[in-house]
Amino acid sequence: MHHVPLEIGLVSTCALATPPEGYGGTELVLADLARELVALGHLPTVFATGDSTSAGTHRALFDAPVWPPDTFAELRHSTFAWEQIARSSFDVVHVNTPVAVSFTSLVHKPTVATVHHPRFEGIAAHYAAHPNVFFAAISRRQRELSPDVPFRAVIHHGLRPEHYPAGAGDGGYCAFLGRLSSEKGPHLAIDAARAAGMPIRLAGDPHATDHEYVQAEVLPRLGAGTMCLGGVGYEAKLELLRGARCLLMPIQWEEPFGLVLIEAMLVGTPVIAFDLGSAAELVEEGVTGFLCKTPNEMATRIGQVNAIDRARCRERARARWGVARMAREYVDLYRRAIDAARGVHAHGVPGGRHHVSEQVGRAR
């Protein structure tokens, strides 16, 4: 029975294209997921922006991304998607924004929802009010921090390994890639690289709320051996990661995943990260990188990073962080949601909106 192709309504965001040209981890993951679902014989319809190029059928309300993110634009985008989902033959719906979850109270389709963001009290209460939705966490740490959210599984992100060719790390520099914000800690990456006597190249842009931090902490640290590249697209990102001796991620918050960590590992570049959020789930100590707690400890690890075999780092990343693994786990969760909805209907509960008892999916 489980070889039957599934018709899947995959609701992305309207903030960025799916996949995005540069910044946008959620949209990148969803584009890779859609492509792999097609490869597995399934039929995804992707609700995204009109300039999106992901695999499957496309439907769009907005021709181009609505940036910066706009809650009311996302609400209109979700309304557009769910109006069509209500009239569709989709077997399952997979939503990826908090507002899209609301419609499950009105449209009774088996639904999976991936939580891509850190914990926010109001949103956690919103999720808790929809116990029949099959929520997926993107890390064990994310699930641990929100025991009130009815998570059914932990599904780590995966990417297409063929998009990440091996790098030699011969550029003689450390890399930082991410938003220039206090929680990402680029100023600490600069401090650690300087203490280790290594040049550093930073790539990323601040959001509107980050400019004060950049003025106070990042700009004064720029100078000899420190290069700021600004925002980068796919090709420039690859060049940066492939040439880097290591990627520095001195995060200051409970990051729910951290896609750039697996992007670095997939090209063979080790990651040195602060031990917060999902970092301990992603970094294998001494194999794909190191975990640490302070800039001084990070500087010490920079001096030891050549002991990591880049080919082995890449091999481990390809084994753990490929999109094929992620897609299989989502298909399993889709089928569980479908089976649960059928079970509810079989017991005569209209629309399947009463709570279905389901053991939380075992962390992988």
pLDDT tens digits, 59-116: 999 999 999 999 999 999 999 999 999 999 999 999 999 999 999 999 999 999 999 9
Q: Model-level pTM?
A: 0.92
Q: DSSP for 76-130?
A: HHHHHHHHHHHTS--SEEEE-SHHHHGGGGTS---EEEE--S---HHHHHHHHT-
- Strand 226-228 and strand 246-249: the pairing is unpaired
Residue 57 lies in a domain: yes
pLDDT above 70 for 355: no
Please indicate, yes or no, whether residues 16 and 114 belong to a single structural domain of this protein: yes
Do 220 and 117 fall into the same domain? Answer: no
2 belongs to a structural domain: no
Residue-wise pLDDT tens digits, 4-49: 999 999 999 999 999 998 889 999 999 999 999 999 999 999 999 9
Give the mean pLDDT of 195-210. Answer: 96
Q: What is the band of 356 on the pLDDT scale with cuts at 50, 70, 90?
A: very low
Whether residue 346 is predicted with pLDDT greater than 80 in this model: the reply is: no
The per-residue pLDDT for range 126-164, each reduced to its tens digit, is 999 999 999 999 999 999 999 999 999 999 999 999 999
Same domain for 141 and 242: no
Q: What is the pLDDT of residue 3?
A: 76
> Can you tell me the mean pLDDT for 245-262?
98
Q: How many domains does the chain have?
A: 2
121 and 35 in a common domain? yes
Helices and strands (H and E) in the chain: how many: 13, 13
pLDDT at position 239? 98
> Tell me: the pLDDT tens digits for 166-185?
999 999 999 999 999 999 99
360 in any annotated domain: no
> 150 and 43 share a domain?
yes
pLDDT, one tens digit per residue, over 285-342 is 999 999 999 999 999 999 999 999 999 999 999 999 999 999 999 999 999 999 999 9
Give the whole-angstrom CA distance, residue 132 versus residue 38: 26
Residues 97 and 193 in one domain: no
Residues 245 and 345 in one domain: no
Residues 192 and 132 in one domain: no
- Torsions phi, psi of 299, nearest 5? -60, -40
Residue 56 maps to a domain: yes
Residue 348: is its pLDDT beyond 50? Answer: no
| Contact call for residues 302 and 193 (beta carbons, < 8 A) | yes
Q: What is the pLDDT of residue 344?
A: 65
Which residue range(s) make up the domain with 55? Answer: 7-160+323-352
Same domain assignment for residues 108 and 69: yes
Q: Is residue 362 part of a domain?
A: no
The answer to whether position 1 is within a domain reads no
Structure token digits, residue 337: 């949601």
208 plus 265 within the same structural domain: yes
In a domain, residue 357? The reply is: no
Domain identity same for 207 and 330: no
CA 105/CA 45 separation, integer angstroms: 21
CATH of the domain at 205: 3.40.50.2000
Is residue 151 domain-shared with residue 240, that is, in the same domain?
no
In a domain, 361, yes or no: no
